[in-house]
Chain A
């Protein structure tokens, strides 16, 4: 309908339209029928007049005859007769064929022929009587008419008079009855129209009241659902208008979040004012404006929301403030593509924020521990290892005290004291080694225990922070162990693997290599150590006997020395990040001068300069003063001196100080040289050069200075 969408009002409009249509119909019919009835009344009057005129003509005819006999005839009578006859005649014809006649008041009046068959029949009969009567009248009234004509007229009049009167009477009655039936029709039309209109009205009433009721019920239902949602949701939900006002419909939770009894109608900015900085507030206003008034993508500006984490301090009672974190999210509400409001969702994210913060703190804590641990690697590895194993059992002990579920004041008190004692000792040990962060952590545990001691009542649950702390100490120990191992591994991989020619698989199968290997395993087994020996280079069988034997003997000594003094126990090696089995690498090759070069390397703990110093002092090889001033180079040189052993007590593999002095004797005896390279904790590397066998060396010329020492 011209593009106007009637929507749900369509039925109503149609009903009202019908109602008006019925009324209009009744009105039009009413008008038409009423005018017909008026017309009919006129005709009835005319019919009545015809009756009167028929009498008047008869009377006039009789009077004319009477006066004809007298001397003074009334001159008006013939005119009167002619006039009455004329009107009767015209009216009769107008009734029959339509035409003009004169009304009662004398004005001309147009008539339609009567459309009623019965009335026409009456008129036909009247005309049949009237026509000869009218002719007689004309003959009698003609100038010079004689008495006979008058007599004939009177005769006619007497004959026609009664019949005409009767006929005109019938006509009047007939027409009255037609008019009456039309009036009846009119009433029926009116009644019908009003009935239809009433029915229509009733339908409208029933239909719309039902409709309205249903709509009201639906509305109520929807309102209740909305109410329920707003009442129960944990989120703060509300609409925000362009003046930053909170809509009247909001979730119940909102009040509690904002600390306002009635947030509806209040300004969000005002409510937030005490909680956030002026700058945040200004930015919030700008952000809301941006969403409401500017052509931006809602999703692509969400990251600019300044209210995505608002810290609010609420005081529910004096002195009792709680800190909450709220997150406000803004979504556009559009009507006809225009943004009218923002739907705001406020969430309490306190728990989440706190968890995030805790997580961050604990990550920071562990990061700082790591960096501190790296520094703490200066601690002597043996002392560290001892501490770590002691600390591990201390923590296990604490855990076993927790695990014992005996309850009651007494048991709890015993538990607290037991854990405290262990903790206190652990703290002292950690502090002594300079493990300050670990000591601080243990100190924290002590404080927790002190707090527990002071509590009036104790339940198992109160121990939760203690357990958490013990776990974090376990974790500290583990990370110390990891760092120690990792750093040791880094050193060993960089340094131990330096000069290592490709190992020839065939060389491994050589008989003398098998023999060295068996010898190495035998010693290692006795010392509870593990070793692997690899060989590369010449087949010794190709060498002259003297050289071959020197090499075999020297290598045997080196093997013994390395396993006894160099290679650490598997536990120690693990701690330092080395492979559990110590590595012995042997190479023999020809050097440029046609002599032999022997390389023997182990990845053990290297030579302990301090150990040699002590041994030299003890054996009296160096005077105390000399011992303190001796350089590392000088001290290491002493390992080739007879009678010096760093081994505390003698056993079958070492300790008697024999071995390396024999090596020196042999090598120097053949004119060769020995070089030593060592790094404490990492490796020890002997390199022996033997000259070609043809040049028999002068044994006496050999000097100890032939040892070159690299540290």
Chain B
């Protein structure tokens, strides 16, 4: 996973926030995290990657961020199910756009949404993952890319 590929993920996410809310998400300093010490907030949309490269990419955000985002796009129903849906939709957008931009080395799966801290995010153990912190309207979120 090189810089250009990471940038694709980052720009997909930034575009998403900008289009939906006209307010871009700020990207923090990216860093590396071990598989057992990655940020996970309340809702996480996970995309699996298989093919020549394996691993996963996930977007994780606290409920507050998703709630504000929903309100901003004019959705007043901020029930938990809707928050999870939104996290899923964001992951979906990432996956859909990434499929367009990546070649046959990347087989990108349909996203899965998980709630809370969970064991179901399967990060490759043998390599460090990129953590790209995001801030939108004072809320923190993160995009995590772990592909070997």
Contact = CB atoms under 8 A, between A and B. Distances in A.
Contact of B6 (A359, A362, A468, A470): A468
Interface string B53-68: 0000000000000000
A21 interface: no
B32 A467 contact: yes
B94 to A, nearest CB: 16
Given A351-B101, A359-B105, A459-B26, A403 B31 contact: yes
A634 to B, nearest CB: 49
B84 to A, nearest CB: 26
A352 B26 contact: no
Interface string B18-59: 000000001111111100000000000000000000000000
B17 to A, nearest CB: 13
Given A460-B26, A464-B30, A467-B30, A356 B10 contact: no
B141 to A, nearest CB: 12
B102 A355 contact: yes
Main secondary structure of the interface of B (DSSP, over half): mixed
Contacts of B4: 354-355, 358
A468 B29 contact: no
A586 B71 CA distance: 78
Contacts, number: 71
Given A354-B4, A355-B5, A362-B2, A402 B31 contact: yes
A468 B105 contact: no
Contact of A463 (B30, B33, B101, B105): B30
Interface band, chain A: 20 to 34
Contacts of A320: none
B95 to A, nearest CB: 16
B140 to A, nearest CB: 9
Contacts of B27: 459-461, 464
Interface string A335-360: 00000000000000001101110110
A356 B3 CA distance: 13
A83 interface: no
Interface string A443-465: 00000000000000001110111
A205 to B, nearest CB: 54
B118 to A, nearest CB: 22
B138 interface: no
Interface in A462-505: 463-465, 467-468, 470-471, 474-475
B133 A468 contact: no
A359 B103 CA distance: 11
The 3 closest A-B pairs by CB, nearest first: A402-B31, A461-B27, A460-B28
Interface of B: 2-7, 10, 26-33, 101-103, 105, 127-128, 130-133
Given A359-B105, A459-B27, A460-B27, 19 more contacts: A351-B101, A355-B103, A362-B2, A399-B31, A403-B131, A404-B29, A405-B28, A405-B29, A460-B133, A463-B29, A463-B30, A467-B30, A467-B130, A468-B2, A468-B6, A468-B130, A470-B32, A474-B32, A475-B127
